[in-house]
Amino acid sequence: MTHKLLDRQLRKHFAQGAPDSEEFAAFCAAVDAAYAANDADRVLLERSIELASTELLEQNAQLERDLASIKRLELELRQAEKLRAVGQLAAGVAHEINTPIQYVGDSLHFIKESCRSLLRLSQQATEGISHSVMKETAEEIGLSFLADEVPSALEQIEAGVKRVGAIVSALKDFGHPEASQVAVTDVNRCLQTALLIAQNELRQVASVEVVLGDLPPLRGYPGDLSQVLLSLLVNAAHAVTERFGNQDRRAWIHVTTRLVGGEIVICVADNGSGIRADHQPRIFEPFFTTKPFGKGSGQALAVAHGIVVHKHGGSISFESRAGSGSTFRVQLPTAGRQPSVDPVPGPQSKAA
């Protein structure tokens, strides 16, 4: 039985019957064999494509699982670094909370005693005690003094409660796990959150100057940006401590935000110990640290690089000279721009 394609061609071209010769029969047999071989090759090819497609689908599914696992690990790493940073600053944060609480406690005690004295005077008034006796009581309890100091004590209580509320709110914003969707972000508020958490650490080692520019909203992750800025501030504090020690008036940290050419630029500068030239190419590598064992994890700047570059489509760079200080610069595209995210991380540095 000849191949159906050959049979169709023979009927088309030899309607009156094919030539009856050995040569023509041999030719037809060869063509028939070629058609059959082609069918066999096609079946094998289709089977190979099917197997390759199945394998590719399985590999894609595995890659998707691996990617999901990597993203989960990255989120866990960022959260762990947040908790580590807050843990290192816990004593300072506790001090920042304890100080206004003490003001509140002292003021409440004063107001409590003042109320007892005023109630004593009020009771005399309701009992019809003579004016001269009430005047003596007023002088005894220091009525004029209370009139001046009680409102001041109430203002201290109000200020203390607001201060504690601000610190707790900053910790809550900083430590909250990030949602899967970006949000409209106030970069200046992120910076103020980081400054509030690190205030005790900064105040003990340097004078801090902050200049906030007029910035447009940014679509990003506020908690992550606060983490980046906190890492830069803490690193600056460690750098000036390494060079000057504690409470040296020569030490300074300058923080600025501004809008430059459609990008938000955040600069954290210090006159600390700086970064050695041979360390600069590795400064954003995971687990690389120039700090003594137990002082740094080597994760803060690596995590900061990932947050800025991969989550916000921005860039992070620095200029530094050993013994003179460093300036870290974070550049973020503003809302409305389409960031071009570089899929391969790479440190950007420039030795001053």
On whether both 340 and 278 belong to a single domain, the answer is: yes
Mean pLDDT, residues 297-308 taken together: 81
Name the helix (H) or strand (E) containing 113.
helix 90-126
Provide the number of structural domains found in the chain. Answer: 3
On whether both 308 and 209 belong to a single domain, the answer is: yes
Domain span holding position 41: 22-88
pLDDT (tens digit per residue) in 272-297: 999 888 888 888 887 777 666 556 55
Last residue of a domain, one of 50, 71, 88: 88
On whether both 314 and 203 belong to a single domain, the answer is: yes
What is the predicted pLDDT for the residue at 34?
85
Mean pLDDT, residues 134-161 taken together: 86
pLDDT class of 179 with cuts at 50, 70, 90: very low
The answer to whether the pTM exceeds 0.75 is no
Residue 5 lies in a domain: no
On whether both 60 and 106 belong to a single domain, the answer is: no
Q: What are the backbone dihedrals phi and psi of residue 331, each rounded to the nearest 5 degrees, phi first?
A: -120, 125
On whether both 99 and 84 belong to a single domain, the answer is: no
User: What's the one-letter identity of residue 109?
Assistant: H
Q: Which of 214, 162, 168, 212 is nearest to 193 (CA)?
A: 168
Question: CA–CA separation, 153 vs 111, rounded Å?
Answer: 7
318 vs 120, more confident? 318
On whether both 253 and 337 belong to a single domain, the answer is: yes
What is the predicted pLDDT for the residue at 78?
65
Residue 9 lies in a domain: no
- Lowest-confidence pick of 6-10, 33-37, 87-91: 87-91
- Lowest-confidence pick of 203-217, 252-266, 336-350: 336-350
159 vs 95, more confident? 159
Question: CA–CA separation, 32 vs 118, rounded Å?
Answer: 119
Name the helix (H) or strand (E) containing 209.
strand 207-212
Name the helix (H) or strand (E) containing 170.
helix 143-175
What is the predicted pLDDT for the residue at 343?
38
Round to the nearest angstrom and report the end-to-end CA distance of the chain.
86
Residue 344, token pair as written in the block: 């391969």
- Lowest-confidence pick of 132-146, 189-203, 285-299: 285-299
Q: Which of 211, 238, 236, 216 is nearest to 318 (CA)?
A: 236
Residue 1 lies in a domain: no
On whether both 200 and 345 belong to a single domain, the answer is: yes
Torsion of CA 67, 73, 77, 79, to 10 degrees: 100
- Does the structure show a pLDDT above 70 at 180? no
Strand 207-212 with 252-260, pairing:
parallel
Question: CA–CA separation, 320 vs 318, rounded Å?
Answer: 7
In the chain, what percentage of residues exceed pLDDT 90?
18
pLDDT (tens digit per residue) in 55-85: 898 888 888 888 877 777 766 676 666 666 6
Longest dimension (CA), the chain: 151
pLDDT (tens digit per residue) in 79-104: 666 666 666 666 767 777 888 888 78
List own/partner pairs for 23-30 with CB under 8 A and 24 or more apart.
28/2
On whether both 255 and 221 belong to a single domain, the answer is: yes
Last residue of a domain, one of 175, 203, 223: 175
On whether both 270 and 335 belong to a single domain, the answer is: yes
- Lowest-confidence pick of 124-128, 216-220, 221-225, 249-253: 124-128
What is the predicted pLDDT for the residue at 345?
38
On whether both 64 and 134 belong to a single domain, the answer is: no
Last residue of a domain, one of 149, 175, 201: 175
User: What's the one-letter identity of residue 315?
Assistant: S
On whether both 82 and 148 belong to a single domain, the answer is: no
Neighbours of 218 (CB within 10 A): 25
User: What's the one-letter identity of residue 256?
Assistant: T
What is the predicted pLDDT for the residue at 344?
35
pLDDT (tens digit per residue) in 102-119: 878 888 988 898 888 888
In the chain, what percentage of residues exceed pLDDT 70?
83
On whether both 208 and 83 belong to a single domain, the answer is: no
Question: CA–CA separation, 43 vs 48, rounded Å?
Answer: 9
Mean pLDDT, residues 18-43 taken together: 81
- Does the structure show a pLDDT above 70 at 178? no
Mean pLDDT, residues 246-263 taken together: 89
